[in-house]
Amino acid sequence: MMERLKILWDERSSREQWMLGVMFALLAVVILWLGVLRPLDAAQRSASDALREATDRNAAIRAKVKLLKSLPRPSTATDVPLEQFISQSAAEAGLTLERAQAHGANRLDMAIASVRPVALFSWLAVLEAQGVRVETMSARPSPTSGSISVQAVLARGGGQ
């Protein structure tokens, strides 16, 4: 194969050999530029943009965390009557209580006709962080797709 190429090369005049040499050199430069350098440059720019965006997001999240840490802590559930606290907390969470009946100062029987499970358990986690625990709870599928109806007894204070 190499001998055949050498024969073809030798059949060319020195001027043709010189022109072909320049052509191959230019072709190599174009292939190097289009096939290697431009893709590497594009990848570097993409990575640089992604890093810049991630750095901006990181800074924004850190600023929000700092702001959240500087906010005053919410009042605990012991400051207000349990029924009022639960009703207010449910309204803030976007939940509608069907029934909220107090049983003494530290217990409440409540019902919600239709609620998404994620919203319910998020709300209950917030209540638990503020000193209200779930004593009993029953849930059934509600007529609304993806929702449940809930009956629960909530109590103020730690677990038993």
* Structural domains counted in the chain: 2
Cβ atoms within 10 Å, residue 155: 19
Q: Please report the pLDDT score of residue 36 as a whole number.
A: 93
The structure tokens listed for 152 are 């629960």
- 41 and 103 belong to one structural domain: no
Query: Of 40, 70, 100, which marks where a domain is finished?
Result: 70
Please say whether the beta carbons of 103 and 109 come within 8 A: yes
pLDDT of residue 81: 87
Please tell me the pTM assigned to this model.
0.51
Q: Are residues 92 and 146 in the same domain?
A: yes
Q: Which residues of the chain have pLDDT under 50?
A: 77, 160
Query: How far apart, in Å, are the Cα atoms of 140 and each of 27, 66, 100, 101, 159?
Result: 73, 40, 18, 20, 25
The amino acid sitting at 33 is: W
83-92 pLDDT, tens digit per residue, is 999 999 999 9
pLDDT at 71: 77
* 133-149 residue pLDDT tens: 999 999 999 888 889 99
CATH number at residue 93: 3.30.1360.100
Whole domain around residue 87: which residue ranges? 82-156
Let me know how long the chain is.
160
Looking at the structure, tell me whether residues 19 and 64 fall in a common domain.
yes
Residue 48 shares a structural domain with residue 113: no
The verdict on residue 77 lying in a domain is no
pLDDT at 80: 81
C-alpha torsion 68→74→77→81, nearest 10: -140
Q: Please check whether residue 36 lies inside any domain of the structure.
A: yes
